[in-house]
Amino acid sequence: MKTFLVALFAAVLSCAAAAQQPDFKVTLLGTGSPPPVLKRFGPAVLVQAGKETLLIDCGRGCTQRLAQAGVKLGAIDALFITHLHSDHVVGIPDLWLTGWLDSPFGTRTQPLQVWGPAGTRSMMENMQKTFQWDVDTRVADQNLSRSAAGINATEMAAGVVYERNGVRVSAIEVDHGELIKPAFGFRIDYDGRSVVISGDTRFSENLIKHAAGVDLLVHQVAMAKEELLAKSERVRTILAHHTKPPEAGTVFARAKPKLAVYYHISLQGDPTVPAPTEKDVEDATRSTYAGPLVLGEDMMVFVIGKDGVTKQ
């Protein structure tokens, strides 16, 4: 009887733990863009849905943020790249090679699985050539697995690109400029819930279409003061490739996510004209959108539950 009661108690406890454990979680690992600042690391979003651990982009500092989130580098099932601009891919060699080490933070037993736009395969092949000395040496010297040191790269078109354990990843073509084609956002669906991550894009009708009614919409934003735009060709060019707050507000107002979140927050300034503040971004967004909005920060976690999205 006593044994039975202990077993019953243990079963109740494990059920309670399972009930509390969110099964669809989105962590903003990096909410920045190219500037090398400590506050916002390079763009990277961790999506944990059911049994799948997925990474969208791998910008600067992605591995440190994964460690902060308590996720082993080797535990990433698949990496999806929005486009090949360096701020979105510069963390890949670190994820790939450090994740391969047999230390507790690594332990990847399979090649790194990567999906990306045209050009991804070539980038991954060249990356392997660049680091061939390290792989050859560690295989010979530390007896590490050569097959696990590989990278399997798949170049994708728009549509469903991955389906496993009830998790579906779809690539959405977005508009990041004439010379950056294709560029993608991603939609991840699991158990009737969903998140869309914009990647880098100008105002995109196609993104609105695929984000309609999504639970969580993570969107990039870029802003500069009018004085700076008037005098800086460089800043005008940057903003012409990205979405400004009132445009992003229109995306949110039409897609109607349960929660809208900014990441890849690019606030342009120079020594004479200060960058806009986060309050400026919010105020400018409010000119077109009145719904729920969060300005993302590194390591913010969102749980997509059956009753809505909560920020942890």
Of the pair 33, 285, the CB lying nearest Zn ion is at 33
CB of 246 to Zn ion, least distance (A): 20
280 included as an active-site residue: no
**Helix axis angle, 278-285 to 245-255, nearest 10°:** 50
CB of 40 to Zn ion, least distance (A): 12
CB of 176 to Zn ion, least distance (A): 6
Of the pair 22, 177, the CB lying nearest Zn ion is at 177
> Which of 23, 57, 77, 87 is flagged as catalytic?
87
Of the pair 33, 63, the CB lying nearest Zn ion is at 33
Please report, as ranges, the residues that interact with Zn ion according to CB under 5 A.
33, 85, 87, 200
CB of 102 to Zn ion, least distance (A): 33
Of the pair 221, 304, the CB lying nearest Zn ion is at 221
Q: What is the DSSP string of the chain?
A: -HHHHHHHHHHHHHHHHHHHS-SEEEEEEE---SS--SSSPSSEEEEEETTEEEEE---TTHHHHHHHTT--GGG--EEE-S---HHHHTTHHHHHHHTTSSSTT----SPEEEEESTTHHHHHHHHHHHTHHHHHHHHHHH---SGGG-EEEEE--SEEEEEETTEEEEEEEE---TTS-SEEEEEEEETTEEEEE--S-SS-HHHHHHHTT-SEEEEEEEEE-HHHHHH-HHHHHHHHTS--HHHHHHHHHHH--SEEEEEEEEEE--SSSPPPPHHHHHHHHTTT--S-EEE--TT-EEEEETTEEEE-
Of the pair 27, 243, the CB lying nearest Zn ion is at 243
CB of 148 to Zn ion, least distance (A): 30
Annotated catalytic residues are 87
